[in-house]
């Protein structure tokens, strides 16, 4: 009779060990993100670059990797190409999307002026502990599509 229990116990112990290992992997890979902090940094960059046209200030808010890829002149050219005719008079960080397992998240912003709406998506590189910097930026033709992971910033 006790021989029948050995395989069952071995199976239970194996399952418990697998669950503990899986939980350990999740805890090691968990990153502490603060969407409000990332949104505020995205807002700060957008205000400096698009609304106030303080490009040296905006350039300093880029991640080190972005500054390594773009010289200041290339950066100013990129901002100009993103706005071929007009700039927004205001920009608001609206939504965020966590990126599982990455040190960063997407922040979605909406800008406007008297005639036009502007839609931006920023990759905000960092975590709550390291702070956030702009690691990528895109301007869309219209609102970005919804996603199950996308949430409103409050």
Count the neighbouring beta carbons within 10 Å of the beta carbon of residue 145.
7
Strand order in the sheet with 104-112: 131-140, 117-127, 104-112, 90-98, 151-152
CA 49/CA 58 separation, integer angstroms: 5
What mean pLDDT do residues 82-97 have? 95
SS3 142: coil
Report pLDDT digits (tens) over 101-150. Answer: 889 999 999 999 999 999 999 999 999 899 999 999 999 999 998 888 89
> In the beta sheet, which residues pair with residue 125?
104, 133
pTM: 0.79
Burial of 123 (0-12, 13-18, 19+ CB in 10 A): buried
Give residue 90's Cα distance to chain centre.
Answer: 21
């Amino acid at each position: 009779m006790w021989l029948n229990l050995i395989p069952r116990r071995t199976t239970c112990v194996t399952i418990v060990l697998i669950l503990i290992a899986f939980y350990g992997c999740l805890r090691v890979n968990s990153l502490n993100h603060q969407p409000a902090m990332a949104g505020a940094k995205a807002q700060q960059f957008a205000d400096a670059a698009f609304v106030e046209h303080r490009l040296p200030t905006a350039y300093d808010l880029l991640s080190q990797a972005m500054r390594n890829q773009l010289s200041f002149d290339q950066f100013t050219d990129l901002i100009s190409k993103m706005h071929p005719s007009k700039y927004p008079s205001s920009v608001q960080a609206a939504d965020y999307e966590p990126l599982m397992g990455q040190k960063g998240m997407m922040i979605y912003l909406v800008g406007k002026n008297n005639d036009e709406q502007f839609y931006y998506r920023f990759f905000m590189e960092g975590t709550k502990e390291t702070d956030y910097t702009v690691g990528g930026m895109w301007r869309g033709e219209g609102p970005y599509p919804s996603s199950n992971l996308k949430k409103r910033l409050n």
